[in-house]
Every structure is written in C-alpha cells, then in structure tokens.
Amino acid sequence: MKNLKRISFLMLLMTFVISCACMKDKNTISGKVESIEFGKDGYTAKINTDKNEVYFAVISIVNVGGPQNYKKLKEGDEVSLKGEIWKTDTEKHITVKEIVSVK
C-alpha cells in the first residue's frame, strides 16, 4: 500500500513538472522599445505593444542561452520577444528566453 501511494505521488509530481515545462516559453510579445535600464547581468527594456500594453522585458546573456543569442536593443527598435510572462499588481514583465526579431 505504501508503494502504491509513493508511485501515485511520483506520477502526479512528474505530470505537474512536465506540464509546467511545456507551458514555459510559449509567450511572445511584440512592440516598440520605449526605454532601457542597464543592470548588473543585462538590462530591462520597457516595451509598448500594439495594444498599448507595457511590458518590462528582462534580458540577460544567461536567460537567452549565451552570448551568441544576446543582443543589445536600442530605444525605438521594433522587437518580438519570447519568454516567461509574469505580473505584479501594477506591472507586466517578461523574462526573455529568445529575441525573435529586431527591426
């Protein structure tokens, strides 16, 4: 009986982990870079989307998979970013995993 409970718990845990992993990085935003604030490991870009939503995009070398994928955005760039979106009470954020395009 103990083994059955353990196996059931492990199966439930594995299902949860797999579903969370599949949900990551499916969020994409596109918009214009309004401002940039540099930090220790990268920078945060304020993005205004076509729907007038404001996102704070956290971009670092580690999160985009290394220096070969890292780009420094400039104010006025039209960008498309993919990553994990999260919200605070008053702000929307995206931890950027991929810089899809920069124009």
Q: Whole-model pTM above 0.85? A: no
Q: Please state the φ and ψ torsions of residue 91, each to the nearest 5 degrees.
A: -130, 155
Q: Tell me: pLDDT of 59 over 80.
A: yes
Domains of the chain, first to last:
23-102 (2.40.50.140)
Q: Which amino acid is at 95?
A: T
Q: Which amino acid is at 78?
A: E
pLDDT at position 12, please? 65
CA distance 45 to 26: 20
CB 74 within 8 A of CB 33: yes
pLDDT, tens only, 32-48: 999 999 998 899 999 99
Q: Tell me: pLDDT of 20 over 60.
A: no
Q: Which amino acid is at 56?
A: F
Q: Report residue 42 as tokens.
A: 């990268």
